[in-house]
Amino acid sequence: MPLECADMVTIIKRHGLDDIAEKVEAGERLSYEDGVTLYASRDVHEIGRLANVVRERLHGNVAYYNINRHINYSNFCVLRCKFCSFYRPYTKDRAEPGDERSMSSDVGMQGRIGLPLLGAAQDDAYELSVDQIVDQAKRAYEAGATEVHIVGGLHPKLSFSYYLDLCRHIRATCPNIHIKAFTAIEIIHFTRITKPRLSIRGVLEQLREAGLGSLPGGGAEIFDDRVHEEAYRAKVGEQGWFDVHRTAHELGIYSNVTMLYGHIESREERITHMLKLREHQDESLRHRRAAFNCFIPLSFIPEGSELGHLSGPTGLDDLKTLAISRLMLDNIPHIKAFWPMQSAKLAQVSLNWGVDDIDGTVIYYDITKREGGHGNRHQELGVDQIRSLIREAGRIPVERDTLYRRVARNDDTQVHGAL
């Protein structure tokens, strides 16, 4: 029977992936050229099929989620990263604790009771007190959360004791909750604000002593000098980021890693980023007590940032990036679609494109908001919604803790609906 023209095109396109398919099926490591070929291919179905071979080899039919709460302690930041719509510059004209002009009895914007700036220009700038953070953690804990994910801007005034206190008080109030907190960039900031200056190791040891459980993967962006120079010049670069995660792994602290894609980087630079991580992970698995648990490709959301004129990744780019990550990062166990960035709908589809984890309930998320800097920070999926998204994708939902141990719940501790 003669082939349709469309079939011919499909065969020709697939042919380009034959060598890669053979490697994937044989469990062989893919090269830089393979990564670039995958990005150049328009055969998103074959890329997804191959990513699923790896995903199912590692995790069978299971898809993980967790019950967590993200807490962003402050959006004041000394940096001005062009992709970021979250930061607010710190100005002197702001209410201090005890200042009668501060909104101590009021709930600030969108339900927060932080310390807002005086004046209208920055009325969404805030910082939370330790008590407010502990209160949020306690409410999440009582509602069944097993993790708090805490990050914020590089605040010019808060001292290191604030960060130690927030860990200590959460630990005392919610003994079993896992504290996943502070990106590598914040850890380096802490080495700079301590007097006398602490080393990265010293900061991590003190935080762990105070209750820190693991490090989130933020702040990695794209490990490339050109992109760094153009989009986040003042930020700690690749070497600092790896120094923090290397030291964490030496100390036995697990961590995650991200890639912020879809802004000014090229496809080749994404592949190089992944290969740098793969190399680091080889070393951690060989010589260190801990390693990366999970890779999270973060889909760039332009609204409200200095790069707001860009259109950000398309759905197909999101799917390909998640699948290619699974194929390139053969030594990182989990690939996560973070639904507040990729959207819950695409995260669901990605469960058949290499992804095995769709993060958690989240609840409030400030770093990115779909409608830009002034959008709604309430971004919550109920447990039942997460489980049915996973089931509809043909996968088996499994609740995990931060370190990917299965969470067993009896009827009393079952969480239904929203937190």
**Binding footprint of ligand V47 on the chain (CB under 6 A):** 83-85, 183, 216-219, 221, 256, 258, 260, 296, 298, 300-301, 305, 338, 341, 359, 367-368
Least Å distance, CB 64 to ligand V47, is 12
- Single-letter residue type at 232: Y
Least Å distance, CB 105 to ligand V47, is 32
For residue 8, what are its two tokens? 């011919």
Least Å distance, CB 147 to ligand V47, is 9
Based on CB atoms, which residue is closest to ligand V47, 257 or 349?
257
Q: Which of 218, 315, 201 is nearest to 262 (CA)?
A: 315
Based on CB atoms, which residue is closest to ligand V47, 50 or 398?
398
Based on CB atoms, which residue is closest to ligand V47, 83 or 242?
83
417 burial level (CB within 10 Å; 0-12, 13-18, 19+): exposed
- Gyration radius from the chain CA atoms: 22
For residue 165, what are its two tokens? 């206190």
Q: Which of 415, 402, 419 is nearest to 213 (CA)?
A: 402
Report the relative pairing of strands 292-299 and 255-261 from DSSP bridges. Answer: parallel
Least Å distance, CB 368 to ligand V47, is 5
Based on CB atoms, which residue is closest to ligand V47, 102 or 293?
293
Q: Which residue lies nearest ligand V47, judged by its C-beta?
A: 218
Based on CB atoms, which residue is closest to ligand V47, 102 or 258?
258
Name residue 232's beta-bridge partners. Answer: none
Based on CB atoms, which residue is closest to ligand V47, 211 or 218?
218
Report the relative pairing of strands 292-299 and 62-66 from DSSP bridges. Answer: unpaired
Least Å distance, CB 128 to ligand V47, is 17
Task: Check: CB of residue 178 under 8 Å from CB of residue 401.
Answer: yes
Helix, strand or coil, per DSSP, at residue 142 = helix
* Non-local CB neighbours of 23 within 8 Å, separated by 6+ positions: 29, 30, 34
Least Å distance, CB 98 to ligand V47, is 32
Based on CB atoms, which residue is closest to ligand V47, 85 or 352?
85
**DSSP state for residue 233 in the 8-state scheme:** T
Least Å distance, CB 218 to ligand V47, is 3
